[in-house]
Amino acid sequence: MSFDIVCFDCDSTLSEIEGIDVLAERVGCGAEMAALTNAAMNGEVSLESVYAQRLALIKPDHQAINWLADLYIEKMVQGVEEVFQKLHKQGKQVHIISGGLKEAILPLAEKLNVAASNVHAVEVLFASNGDYLDYNQQSPLARNGGKAEICLQLNKAGLKLAIVGDGNTDMEAKKAGAFCVGFGGVVTRKIVQDQADVFVADPDLQAVLPYLL
């Protein structure tokens, strides 16, 4: 099957890290944060119930976001650049849809030749001195079902759309008619194995290509 639109999660899919967790480790509340993130990605609690709580704990300023942006690139999953090159070459619409922080993901997207307008993530609001103020609380990606909402917006023409990701929030895109490729190359979640249309456990992201092209 070949898809016209291919969407990717970022954390634990394009990069080996969970951005919110490494930001938490940086300020000394890593264990608490990882437990919250895992509960949300495993579908045990709603994303919206932990989103504000996580950011209130971390308060990531401009400097922290820049640090995370560099780390996303440094910890890129094996095969990511090759996957994006092949998809671009075949004229696919490629998007990144993430519940992560948009400003930290944009440099990775740029490296992969994904336009900023094709990056859908949660914007951080900063004070004039660079301190953390808030996040865009209206973003659908800070709540469950948000990825399905974005997929519907992207695919008004009813094209064939696939999404690749490691978490429960990615599988929710099925509600928008997405073909869901579960990626377990970084972390394997039973809920994703059970719900994905196809599940790939290979640590090299290129293993998803046969299902997309």
**pLDDT given at position 174:** 95
**Which residue out of 11, 21, 166, 170 is catalytically annotated?**
11
pLDDT digits (tens, 9 = 90+) for 94-129: 999 999 999 999 999 999 999 999 999 999 999 999
The pLDDT of residue 50 is 82
Distance CA 208, CA 26 (A): 32
Q: Please tell me the predicted confidence (pLDDT) of residue 88.
A: 98
- Cα angle 178, 179, 181 (rounded to 5 degrees) comes to 125
Going by their DSSP bridges, the two strands 124-126 and 132-135 should be labelled as antiparallel
Amino acid present at 62: H
**DSSP string of 134-148?**
EE-TT-GGGSTTHHH
> Who's near 91: CB < 8 A, 6+ residues apart?
none
DSSP secondary structure code for residue 128 in this structure:
T
CA distances from 94 to 45, 59, 107, 116, 211 (A): 29, 31, 16, 11, 15
Q: Residue 191: which CATH number? A: 3.40.50.1000
pLDDT digits (tens, 9 = 90+) for 25-46: 998 887 887 888 888 878 888 8
Tokens of residue 43, six digits: 């579908």
Considering only CA atoms, give the Rg of the chain: 16
Number of domains in the chain: 1
For residue 48, the model assigns a pLDDT of: 81
Write out residues in the chain with pLDDT < 70, as ranges: none
Helix (H) or strand (E) holding 124: strand 124-126
With residue 55 as reference, give the H or E element that holds it: helix 47-58
**Active site (annotated) includes residue 204:** no
With 0-12 CB in 10 A as exposed, 13-18 as middle and 19+ as buried, what is 14? buried
3-state secondary structure string across 15-50: ECCCHHHHHHHHCCCHHHHHHHHHHHHCCCCCHHHH
9 catalytic, yes or no?
yes
Residue 93 is given by DSSP the state E
* Whole-angstrom distance, CA of residue 24 vs CA of residue 68: 11
Question: pLDDT at position 60, please?
Answer: 96
Q: Which domain holds residue 122?
A: 5-212
Q: What is the pTM of this model?
A: 0.94
Q: CA-CA distance, 154 to 150, in Å (whole number)?
A: 6
Q: Label the pairing between strands 5-8 and 161-165.
A: parallel
Q: What is the pLDDT of residue 45?
A: 83
Q: What is the pLDDT of residue 26?
A: 93
